[in-house]
Amino acid sequence: MSRRTRVSLIAMVAALVVGVVVVLALTGDEDEPVALEPDEPTAEPDADPDADEEEPSDPDPDEEPGDVDDEPAEDAEADDVAPHDEDDLVVTEVAEGFDQPWGLALLPDEARMLVTELPGRLSLLDLDEGEVTSIDGVPEVDAGGQGGLLDVAVHPDWPEEDWVHLTYAAGDGSGATSTHLARGRLDAQAGALTDVEELFAAEPFLDSTQHYGSRVVHDGQGHVLLTVGDRGDKAFDDHVSQDASNHLGTTIRLSEDGEVPADNPFVDDEAVADEIYSYGHRNVQGMALHPDTGAVWQSEHGEEDGDELNIVEEGANHGWPETHTGCEYGTETPVGVHPSERDDVPDPVYYWECTTGGFPPAGIDFVHGAALPGWEGDLLVGGLASESLARFSVDDDEVTKEGRLLEDRGWRIRDVVTDADRGVVYLAIDDGSAPIVALTTEE
């Protein structure tokens, strides 16, 4: 082969490669794990190929052999007394054009909602008019990978108490980042947060853009709970989530102003950080208090499958990664032992075990108040790669999977919030130009 022929061949191969990359880029759906997709949180070249948000849809979503709570068919039919089904749902887009909306928080008794977007914008959405007003004064965030502006919580006594809490990823200047909590006073008229103060930064900061958590909720008793992920730690034999002297892989409990409550479970335990409420978590992106019992419910991303719904127990080790129902990525090798084998680890109320395809879950909320009559008390769980909304009926601390809603719309669902007064369930769709969606049962 002459030198010129070799050069021509090399040029042809290079052109082909470029062509394929261009075609992939042009056809690459944000929801597919296409490499080099700049908007995809885990597509960073240095990121561990963590698939928990990237898995392709469950090829057979209604047939999950690992569903531990599947009832016998006759029981399921007996339970199916809801006066309506998905066909009766009215699905509308309240507003559109959001860039990876992550957290939703209603202003009580008002037709308004705060919306976070991962790149760092906070906005106020008029739910009747669909008008969107950007809010100034948001803390600087480190937007990259799964990090950015994350969740938002409005004080339950709004508008008498005008504090808004935000969680977000931010750096320390060296490239390392961590999950943060801040609060500011919302001046809706001026479109600004004032008196903004950082309340908490999870230690340690790490050179990772994965697994920040991070939901924040008020407990109605003057405290906030927030979740901090494990930052993608793969050292399963010596894991940050099992070392409770740090904040990674935990639920954190603080007073509204960021102080450590004197009745936190580990304030008298020198080996455990005082801010911790529970530990042994992997990456919790859904948290809601049960509207009747006040119990803290969470959704948690597993490794390969192993996704969970949990009722969080104060002071508990929830097991990750010593207990898990998922596997190491790309294998059928379990991570840890089954939670039922450890008496000191609370069992998940539901899980998608290894080989089931999983259901990487994000925001959750209960149906209550005037929303979706017939499904009152049910738990709705936003699905990412599954692109659906899972519905569970709830009986005390047990759940029954009732099915998946909104399939075939291609919506990765990042957050779910019930407007009990106005009778609506709102969803944040995870996409680069995404809508906020309203679910009702009436036009």
Residue among 132 and 337 whose Cβ is closer to Ca ion:
337
If one asks whether residue 434 binds Ca ion (CB under 5 A), the answer comes out as no
If one asks whether residue 280 binds Ca ion (CB under 5 A), the answer comes out as no
How many beta carbons lie within 10 A of that of residue 4, not counting itself? Answer: 8
Residue among 106 and 296 whose Cβ is closer to Ca ion:
296
Residue among 184 and 319 whose Cβ is closer to Ca ion:
319
Question: Looking at residue 357, what DSSP letter applies?
Answer: -
The interface region with Ca ion, picked from 63-71, 134-142, 336-344, 412-420 by CB under 5 A, is 336-344
Dihedral angle, C-alpha 197, 200, 203, 207, nearest 10 °: -50
Residue among 141 and 202 whose Cβ is closer to Ca ion:
202
Q: Which amino acid is at 298?
A: Q
If one asks whether residue 345 binds Ca ion (CB under 5 A), the answer comes out as yes
If one asks whether residue 319 binds Ca ion (CB under 5 A), the answer comes out as no
Tell me how far, at minimum, the Cβ of 346 lies from Ca ion, in Å.
6
Residue among 98 and 350 whose Cβ is closer to Ca ion:
350
Tell me how far, at minimum, the Cβ of 347 lies from Ca ion, in Å.
4
What's the Cα-to-Cα distance from 401 to each of 52, 124, 177, 219, 350, rounded to whole Å? 21, 34, 37, 26, 9
If one asks whether residue 254 binds Ca ion (CB under 5 A), the answer comes out as no
If one asks whether residue 52 binds Ca ion (CB under 5 A), the answer comes out as no
Exposed e or buried b for every residue in 222-252, given b needs 16+ CB within 10 A?
Answer: ebbbbbbbbbbbeebeebbbbebebbbbbbb
Out of 165, 180, 211, 239, the active site residue is 211
- Please state, in angstroms and rounded to a whole number, the distance separating the CA atoms of residues 411 and 5: 49
Burial class (CB in 10 A: 0-12, 13-18, 19+), 62: exposed
The interface region with Ca ion, picked from 60-68, 221-229, 337-345, 385-393 by CB under 5 A, is 337-345
If one asks whether residue 243 binds Ca ion (CB under 5 A), the answer comes out as no
Containing H/E element for 101? Answer: strand 101-106
Question: Looking at residue 210, what DSSP letter applies?
Answer: S
Burial class (CB in 10 A: 0-12, 13-18, 19+), 7: exposed
318 labelled catalytic: no
If one asks whether residue 274 binds Ca ion (CB under 5 A), the answer comes out as yes
If one asks whether residue 184 binds Ca ion (CB under 5 A), the answer comes out as no
If one asks whether residue 313 binds Ca ion (CB under 5 A), the answer comes out as no
Residue 350, both tokens: 């539901």
- Number of residues lying near Ca ion (CB under 5 A): 8
If one asks whether residue 266 binds Ca ion (CB under 5 A), the answer comes out as yes
Rule CB under 5 A: choose which of 101, 339, 348, 361 binds Ca ion: 339
If one asks whether residue 96 binds Ca ion (CB under 5 A), the answer comes out as no
- Using CB under 5 A as the binding rule, the residues of this chain from 347 to 386 that contact Ca ion are 347
- Please state, in angstroms and rounded to a whole number, the distance separating the CA atoms of residues 183 and 193: 9
If one asks whether residue 390 binds Ca ion (CB under 5 A), the answer comes out as no
Residue 135, both tokens: 């809010």
Residue among 161 and 341 whose Cβ is closer to Ca ion:
341
Distance from first CA to last CA of the chain, Å, rounded? Answer: 72
Residue 49, both tokens: 């190929």
Q: Which residues are catalytic?
A: 211
Residues forming contacts to Ca ion in the complex (CB under 5 A) are 266, 269, 272, 274, 339, 342, 345, 347
